[in-house]
């Protein structure tokens, strides 16, 4: 759980830095949690399924390689570190 919280911080800080450097990329309104929750639930389901798959957590880490700025990759590596022991 602690690793997942740290991973969330990596993404939050990365987004804030991006929006500071590129103000036009910042959201113009706050999302409603009811609209975000289904996306978060789908991510959770996908992560649990991937962790149960053969080769996890390395298989899950491979999915983040397409991240252009590395932010999500760093967060995923952080979140999965305790599982890689």
The model scores a pTM over 0.85: no
Express each pLDDT in 25-44 by its tens digit.
999 998 787 887 887 787 77
Q: How high is the mean pLDDT of the chain? A: 76
pLDDT band at 21 (very low <50, low <70, confident <90, very high): very high
Q: Tokens 């932010």 sit at which residue?
A: 71
Domain chopping of the chain, boundaries: 2-23+32-84
Q: Report pLDDT for 65.
A: 58
pLDDT band at 8 (very low <50, low <70, confident <90, very high): confident
SS (H, E, C) 32-67: CHHHHHHHHHHHHHHHHHHHHCCCCCHHHHHHHHHC
């Amino acid at each position: 759980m602690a690793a997942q919280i740290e991973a969330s911080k990596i993404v939050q800080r990365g987004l804030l830095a991006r929006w500071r450097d590129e103000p036009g990329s910042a959201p113009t309104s706050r999302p409603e949690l009811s609209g975000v929750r289904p996306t978060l639930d789908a991510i959770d389901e996908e992560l649990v399924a991937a962790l149960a798959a053969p080769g996890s957590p390395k298989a899950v880490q491979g999915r983040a390689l397409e991240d252009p700025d590395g932010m999500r990759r760093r967060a995923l590596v952080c979140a999965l570190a305790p599982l890689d022991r």
